[in-house]
A and B are shown apart, each in its own frame.
Chain A
Amino acid sequence: MTAYQTGLLVILALNVLGAFAVYLPLSAGQLNLGIAGFMAVGAYAAAWLGNEQGWGATAAIAAGGGAAALVACAVAVPILRTHGIYLALATFALGQVITAVFLNLEPVGAAAGYPVTEHIGPAAVLLTTLGVAALVLLLSCTRFALCLTAIRSDAVVADLMGMPVRALKVAAFTLGAAIAGLSGGLYALHYNYVEAQHFGVMLSTYTVLYVLLGGTRSVWGPILGAAFFTLIPELLRASAGWRYAIFALLVILFMAWRPAGLLTGGLRLPWRRRAAEETP
């Protein structure tokens, strides 16, 4: 594998993690437009713990996920009071606030950026991503995922069925933030440099687009969406300056073709269909 291909795979892995982070709360109907903020928390937490506290890479990255989860849990209660477009706005604002804080935080370099001493190679990034993907896929086969879908579909009925709607929403939001934090930690230790500007509106927007484009009704949607968004611009590299225009056009056509995303139903695996037929 060439260095270019490995580099691309790392970007793809980080994008898939980001897409999962958006997908989890979205499967309960909550659009988090500030996901880059949670990535920033993870990135700075992991970088600072490695640099200043001498934490090893694994512990620092895990702590990055934990720190983002803590922030999410703390803001979840007020933020999840809002719904729909207001929730999207609230999370957008939160993402901006977090980035602005890091931009001015002297102990982590403020606007000058923050070099990171601990380093992880591409294999660590890819393996962690595979692990998280396996966990998210497993989670999508549980009643927890079913509850989130039920809440998104009809929160009143979900409540009448006895589901703790608020707690489940907080759990999905927090879990999403933890994955975002993890991806931030991986980013920081892989590239050995963090700057607040990276975690801006564009990153949040793109991450949300991966999910919307891939499809929000199946856990394969974010994976496909992230792959599409990461690889297509690379394939268009030959068209030089036009590549983003062509890409944007492709996105629009794509949305017209599949307005609910690439994957609309659950992905039916052949062996699962067979299993369903066996049961009485």
Chain B
Amino acid sequence: MTPLSLSVEGLTKSFGGLSVIRDLSFTVPAGSATALIGPNGAGKSTAFNLITGVYRPDAGRIRLGGKDITGTPSRRRIGLGIARNFQNIRLMPHLSVLENLLVGQHVRAGGLIDLLTPYRLLPKHRWRAEALAALAECGLERHAAERVQGLPYGIRKRIDVVRATLSRPGLLLLDEPAAGLNPTETQALHRHLDMLRARGMTLLIVEHDMHFVGRTCGHVVVLNFGEKIAEGSLAEVQRDPLVREAYLGGMAA
């Protein structure tokens, strides 16, 4: 996979009268790990929804690896190299972990032959082997056959991230991947993200945990009320008075 850059220019979105994203512009260089931070309700998840095409922007452009994808239907964006997880873990609860991962592969396995191969009868099938290998890399392989429904939160959260990587994206959007993880799981997530970057994935991460951001992301974009209020290294934005004000001292330390 080749890392892809992302740039948004003048992105604007409102819901009814509520203006949620206002004239937002930022760039995520190819191969970088960039953080998108901001207080609750700042519009971070909405920005992800615009980038992945869940919502249409009212104005502005989105470019992936220099290619304008503003008008590209949501379904085709994953094929161009964007994948994402979900803040509220949108796995298919009645399916097994393995089957959820097969769903994540769909864009590479959507041909008629792949669609009609009875993979459930072929335990050694390559798509299964690949999904199991991805699980094993994260030390989660023992959950492969379990139904997602009964799994603990932290494990579901990590599987949602694994599923997002299975399309082999050049740009991975992660919405609060560390939220609700215990320290051991957080360490494992760090190792996973390092591995993804080494393989050539650009990361854009929404995260509230500043230690997590400091450890992984060299560049930080700060959002407040849908507007970019600061940009730079974590240390730089933490010094920024606008940012301190936005967080009301919440991250001043």
Q: Which one, B86, B93, B124, contacts A153 given CB within 8 A?
A: B93
* CB-based contact A144/B92 at 8 Å: no
If over half of A's interface residues share one DSSP class (helix, strand or loop), that class is named, otherwise mixed; here it is helix
* CB-based contact A157/B128 at 8 Å: no
* CB-based contact A163/B121 at 8 Å: no
- Shortest B133–chain A CB gap in Å is 8
Q: A149-B94, A153-B95, A280-B132 are in contact. Are A161 and B104 (CB under 8 A)?
A: yes
Q: Which one, A147, A275, A280, contacts B141 given CB within 8 A?
A: A280
Q: Which one, A147, A154, A275, contacts B115 given CB within 8 A?
A: A147
Q: A142-B118, A146-B103 are in contact. Are A162 and B110 (CB under 8 A)?
A: yes
- Separation of A161 and B93 alpha carbons in the complex (Å): 16
* CB-based contact B54/A156 at 8 Å: yes
Residues of chain A contacted by B109 (CB below 8 angstroms): 143
Q: Verify if A272 is at the interface (C-beta below 8 Å from B).
A: yes
- Shortest A275–chain B CB gap in Å is 4
Q: Which one, A146, A160, A161, A279, contacts B99 given CB within 8 A?
A: A146
Q: Which one, B74, B95, B124, contacts A160 given CB within 8 A?
A: B74
* CB-based contact B95/A143 at 8 Å: no
* CB-based contact A272/B120 at 8 Å: yes
Residues of chain B contacted by A162 (CB below 8 angstroms): 75-76, 78-79, 106-107, 110, 167
Chain B interface residue count: which class?
35 or more
- Separation of A39 and B137 alpha carbons in the complex (Å): 51
Q: Which one, B107, B123, B144, contacts A161 given CB within 8 A?
A: B107
* CB-based contact B119/A160 at 8 Å: no
* CB-based contact A142/B119 at 8 Å: yes
Residues of chain B contacted by A165 (CB below 8 angstroms): 75
A143 to B, closest residue via Cβ: B115
* CB-based contact B92/A147 at 8 Å: no
- Separation of A139 and B117 alpha carbons in the complex (Å): 8
B86 to A, closest residue via Cβ: A157
Q: Which of A194-240 contact B (CB under 8 A)?
A: 217
Q: A162-B76, A163-B106 are in contact. List 12 more A-B contacts (CB 8 A).
A: A142-B117, A146-B99, A146-B102, A153-B94, A153-B95, A156-B54, A157-B92, A159-B74, A161-B78, A162-B106, A276-B144, A280-B136
Residues of A bordering B, CB below 8 Å = 138-144, 146-147, 149-150, 153-154, 156-165, 217, 265, 272-273, 275-280
Task: Please list the 9 inter-chain residue pairs (A to B) with the smallest Cβ-Cβ separation, ordered nearest first.
Answer: A162-B107, A141-B118, A141-B120, A275-B123, A153-B92, A162-B78, A144-B115, A161-B106, A157-B90
Q: List 7 A-B contacts (CB under 8 A).
A: A138-B118, A141-B118, A143-B117, A154-B92, A157-B86, A163-B106, A279-B132
